[in-house]
Amino acid sequence: MKVLRIGILDEEEIYVERLCAYLNRQGMGRVAGFTKKQALVSYLEKRRLDLVAGTDREELVTLREQYPELCLVWLTAPASETSDSGIYSLLRYQSAKTIGQRLGELAGQLGLAQKQEKPMIAVYSPVGRCGKTSLALRVIGTEAYGKWLYVGLEDYSFFAEEEDTFFYYVKEREENRVLEWMAQCGGRIPSAGSPFDSRQMNREDAQWLHLVLNKSESYRGAVWDIGTGVLSDPEFFLVFDALLVPYLSEEKAMAKRSRFERLLRMHGLEDVLEQVRFVDMGRQDEITDKLEELFGTHF
């Protein structure tokens, strides 16, 4: 299920904080607040929002020109119909509960929170030889989780030599070829034959592949096995619904885990950090619980 993402834009910081806090507590989806339009635009350059509610109509009109796919709500007037510019309006000076209900009703009417999207899960670890690939394949091999597609993005594939054209088809945007591969690969897309080819896969490629995955009738979702030597941009993680990070409870491994968390914060990727599930590979009960929570219940 697609998670509804809402942005609140208002120059009053306290108003933004309180409204966002309430909407997040009520499970409206993921709600982010902004007091400056430029901060919102910078956010949209890296992340997705489905609906933006703001108090400055001129700013909303500008956003409409830049992002025509956004649902925009002007927090000022009591009317609930769209204006000539395609911007909805809602009374600002009412309770957060009422605003949340109205936004939820609008999202429901427009189908913003009802679009079925197949989840994509990344498995990545800054700790070497910790069982990362085995963890990804455990998901693929667990019948109770449904049928998931394994996508290898490691430095070197451990699979036997196979036809190495899948990622070429992705780069060339050959949708029919990619769908054919998905249908015939037995649930496993091996890493490219060369690590240099794997490193060519970027965020836009992964986003396009997600669109194609949604058209496939074969899989519930995809699990990406990402090697440390392949990842060149941490913003690649923004494509995924969750990030499994296996680690070992050893001193050096724990230090690498901490550095990885700091790296995400340094790049402003708090949204990614919120979706991280750390898994202690030395504890079988934790592995089972984390996989069950993610693949058996959450998705």
90 neighbors 73 (Cβ within 8 angstroms): yes
| pLDDT per residue as tens digits for the range 132-158 | 999 999 999 999 899 999 999 998 766
| CA 16/CA 34 separation, integer angstroms | 7
- Look up the pTM and report it: 0.69
Cα separation, 56 vs 11, whole angstroms: 9
Strand-pair partners of 72: 52
Q: Return the pLDDT at 160.
A: 56
pLDDT in tens, 265-284: 998 888 889 889 999 999 99
Task: Report if residue 216 sits inside a domain.
Answer: yes
**Stretch among 23-27, 111-115, 167-171 having the lowest mean pLDDT:** 111-115
pLDDT at position 73, please? 94
pLDDT score recorded for residue 159: 66
- Mind listing the pLDDT tens digit for each residue in 61-77? 999 999 988 999 999 85
Q: Is residue 292 part of a domain?
A: yes
Identify the bridge partners of residue 244 per DSSP, sorted by sequence position.
123, 277
| Residue-wise pLDDT tens digits, 188-239 | 999 988 888 889 999 889 989 998 998 998 999 999 999 998 998 998 998 8
Residue 115 falls inside a structural domain: no
Confidence band, pLDDT 50/70/90 cuts, at residue 80: very low
pLDDT band at 168 (very low <50, low <70, confident <90, very high): very high
Statement: residue 247 has pLDDT above 90: yes
Which CATH number goes with the domain that contains 269? Answer: 3.40.50.300
Residue 226's nearest CA partner among 139, 123, 150, 134 is 123
Whether 261 shows a pLDDT value over 90: the answer reads yes
Q: Indicate whether 66 and 139 sit together in one domain.
A: no
- And the tokens for 216? 């496939």
Is a pLDDT exceeding 80 seen at residue 170? Answer: yes
pLDDT at 263 over 90: yes
Tell me, yes or no, whether 135 and 66 share the same domain: no
Q: What was the pLDDT predicted at 114?
A: 52
pLDDT at 9: 96
Domain assignment present for residue 253? The answer is: yes
Q: Which residues contact 21 (CB under 8 A, 6 or more apart)?
A: none
- Window from 106-110, 124-128, 274-278 with minimum mean pLDDT: 106-110
**Residues 203, 292 within the same domain:** yes
pLDDT of residue 14: 93
- Read off the tokens for 286: 């934790």
Strand 242-247 relative to strand 120-123: parallel, antiparallel, unpaired?
parallel
Query: Does 87 map to a domain?
Result: yes
Q: How far is CA 275 from CA 118, 178, 248, in A?
A: 16, 28, 19
Together in a domain, 152 and 275: yes
Q: Which of 89, 110, 131 is the last residue of a domain?
A: 110
Q: What is the CATH number of the domain that holds 46?
A: 3.40.50.2300
Q: What is the mean pLDDT of residues 82-93?
A: 76
The domain of 155 spans: 120-298
The owner of tokens 């950090």 is 273
Are 137 and 247 in the same domain? Answer: yes
At which of 110, 145, 174 does a domain end?
110
Tokens encoding 77: 């007037």
Are residues 63 and 83 part of one domain? yes
pLDDT at residue 19 in the model: 93
| DSSP result, the chain | -PPPEEEEE-S-HHHHHHHHHHHHHTT-SEEEEESSHHHHHHHHHHS--SEEEES-HHHHHHHHHH-TTSEEEEET-S--S--TTS-EEE-SSS-HHHHHHHHHHHHHHHTTT------EEEE--SSTTSSHHHHHHHHHH-GGG--EEEEEESSS--SPP----HHHHHHTT-HHHHHHHHHHSTTEEPPPSSHHHHTT--HHHHHHHHHHHHH-SS-SEEEEEE-TTT---GGGGGG-SEEEEEE-SSHHHHHHHHHHHHHHHHTT-HHHHHTEEEEETT-HHHHHHHHIIIIIII-
Residues 66 and 192 occupy one common structural domain:
no
Strand-pair partners of 6: 31, 51
Tell me what the pLDDT averaged over the chain comes to: 88
Residues ≥6 apart with Cβ < 8 Å to 94: none
Count of Cβ atoms closer than 10 Å to residue 200 Cβ: 15
Length of the chain measured in residues:
299
Domain boundary among 51, 75, 110: 110
Q: Do 257 and 133 fall within a single domain?
A: yes
Please indicate, yes or no, whether residues 30 and 157 belong to a single structural domain of this protein: no
Please state the domain count of the chain.
2
pLDDT for the residue 224: 97
State percent of the chain over pLDDT 90: 56
Which range has highest mean pLDDT (106-120, 155-169, 227-241)?
227-241
In a shared domain, residues 97 and 153: no
Res. 257: pLDDT tops 90 = yes
Task: State mean pLDDT over 243-269.
Answer: 94
Classify residue 220: in a domain, yes or no: yes
User: Could you tell me if 124 and 106 lie in one domain?
Assistant: no
